[in-house]
Amino acid sequence: MVRRNYPLVALGMVLLLVATLAGLSRADFNLLPEQLAMSHGALMVAGFFGTLISLERAFAMGNTRAYLVPVLSAAGGAGILAGAQHAASLLVASAAGYVLLSLRMLRFMPNLATGTMCLGAVALLAGNVLWYLRGSAPATPFWGAFLLLTIAGERIELAQLLSTKAGVKRWFMLSTGIYAAGVATTLLDYSLGLRISGAGMLLLALWLLRYDVAMKSISASGLPRFTGFALVLGYLWLIAGGVLGLAYAGSYSYDMMLHSLFLGFVFSMVFGHAPVIFPALLGRNMRFLGSFYLHLILLHLSLMLRLAGNFISAELTAWGSLLNAASIFLFLANNAAGMIAGGVKGE
Ligand code: HEM
């Protein structure tokens, strides 16, 4: 079964690499043609994350037909690379399939966690449709919601095991409701919507810091400790993203608001969870290496540099962006090294 994951994971990695180079091109490094640089957000979120997250879901369901969803998003991402006309329609079709998979999961497990992930799936569909019809800017808040709600849904599943208090759930639902309302408002008034969603993001970040098991993992050792650090650092960037959203002041703070969420929060989560997800998808063991801390530290320091650049100099922002990309490349190299050292499962 894991064999069929290999080509999709490989294509996902290609999309991640090109999306990162496209990000650098947007940050004035001019590495790729204009059309690819302008597809940076679509390649990252709809292409790379759309493929990997739906692949994880299809694999967990053990359903062959469900694989059509990651196949469609990988094909859509490859279509963007090839400049194909129908790339966007493939990504819309894949997101629609992902909504169906999520609804099916909700039917079997009707709880807050799967409900939140389902809302995330709807956000991906809305984001991809908006990208198809109107381009990246209107799609971006919805792409952010896809990733934030998917991750929050997965984390609440674990937190629920720890706390059954009604107030804990209410705080989560209120934050998610404000956040989702803000994202929807961006369709009518972009600035107002970003401010409202910023408030929701801030509340969600505080919820995660307070109730997530991450804080407890920090006092463990090895991989759980590393994951705990990655999660807590990610939640701190979510606070930063929320504050920047609340105080949204046009293009000046836009890049940092976006990447506090997309790099500071989302990628810190990716770094923390990848040592479990990659081995599961690829049927290998992962040996935890102390060098994993290098890509984690580099991600957060380089993002601080990028943020500081907004106040000091554009050159500093450029260095921050370059090192952001380096942290992603180092992450891939370190995880590959950990899996090679871990060997094949069962051996
Ligand atoms: C690796 C380093 C990265 C660099 C150097 C980078 C750079 C940029 C730049 C310069 C912009 C334009 C911002 C503006 O218009 O003010 C941008 C936009 C955007 N970025 Fe990134 N980015 C990176 C990583 C990411 C990641 C990991 C994600 C998603 C998980 C992401 C998602 C987006 C989105 C959705 C947009 C807005 C849509 C678009 O303009 O394509 N970026 N990025």
Model pLDDT for residues 56-103, shown as the tens digit of each residue:
999 999 989 999 999 999 999 999 999 998 999 999 999 999 999 999
Query: Confidence class of residue 41 from pLDDT cuts 50, 70 and 90?
Result: very high
Burial class (CB in 10 A: 0-12, 13-18, 19+), 89: middle
Most distant CA atoms of the chain, gap in Å: 57
Protein residue with its CA nearest to atom 38 in ligand 1: 41
> Is the confidence at residue 162, as pLDDT, over 60?
no
Q: Considering the entire predicted model, what is its pTM?
A: 0.96
Q: Can you give the residue ranges of every domain in the chain?
A: 1-108
- Contact, 97 vs 50, CB < 8 A? no
- Closest approach atom of ligand 1 to CA 328: 1
Mean pLDDT of the chain: 94
- For 166-200, write each residue's pLDDT tens digit: 788 899 999 999 999 999 999 999 999 999 999 99
Ligand 1: nearest atom to the Cα of 49: 30
pLDDT at residue 165 is higher than 80: no
Closest CA to 113 of 159, 67, 73, 79: 159
Measuring from each residue's beta carbon to the nearest atom of ligand 1, which residues come in under 6 Å? 20, 23-24, 26-27, 40-41, 44-45, 136, 140, 143, 251, 254-255, 258-259, 262-263, 266-267, 321, 324-325, 328
The pLDDT score that the predictor gives to residue 15 is 98
The whole-angstrom separation of Cα 334 and Cα 185 is 40
Confidence of residue 259 (pLDDT cuts 50, 70, 90): very high
Confidence of residue 161 (pLDDT cuts 50, 70, 90): low
- pLDDT for the residue 347: 59
Please report how the helices 190-211 and 136-162 are oriented relative to each other, as an axis angle in degrees rounded to 10: 20
Per-residue pLDDT reduced to its tens digit, 292-337: 999 999 999 999 999 999 889 999 999 999 999 999 999 999 999 9
CB contact at 8 A, 93 and 129: no
Give the pLDDT confidence of 110-127 residue by residue, as tens digits: 999 999 999 999 999 999
pLDDT for 346 equals: 66
Going by alpha carbons, the residue nearest to atom 20 of ligand 1 is 41
Q: How far apart are CA 97 and CA 67, in angstroms?
A: 10
Residue 291 confidence (pLDDT) above 70: yes
CA-based radius of gyration for the chain? 19
Checking if the pLDDT of 163 tops 70, the result is no
Q: What's the mean pLDDT in 227-232?
A: 97
What's residue 209's pLDDT?
A: 93
Q: Which residues contact 258 (CB under 8 A, 6 or more apart)?
A: 140, 144
Instruction: Give the mean model confidence (pLDDT) for residues 14-21.
Output: 98
pLDDT at 214: 84
The percent of residues in the chain predicted with pLDDT above 90, rounded, is: 85
Q: Report the C-alpha gap between 2 and 128 in whole angstroms.
A: 28
For residue 44, is pLDDT > 70? yes
Give me the residue label for tokens 């043609």: 33
Residues 121 and 99 sit within 8 Å (Cβ to Cβ): yes
CA 291 to ligand 1 center in whole angstroms: 26
Q: Looking at the CA of residue 136, tell me the nearest atom of ligand 1.
A: 38
Nearest residue CA, atom 11 of ligand 1? 26
Phi, psi of 277 (to 5 degrees): -70, -50
Best probe residue, ligand 1, of 16, 17, 40, 260 (max atoms within 8 Å of C-beta) = 40
**Mean pLDDT value across residues 198-221:** 92
Taking the centre of ligand 1 as the mean of its atom positions, its distance from the CA of residue 40, in whole angstroms, is: 6
Phi, psi of 64, deg, nearest 5: -60, -40
Pocket mutation for ligand 1, best pick of 25, 28, 259 (most atoms within 8 Å of C-beta): 259
Tokens of 280: 């599961």
Per-residue confidence (pLDDT) for residue 270, from 0 to 100: 98
Residue partners of 193: CB distance under 8 A and separation at least 6? 141, 182, 183, 184, 185, 186, 187
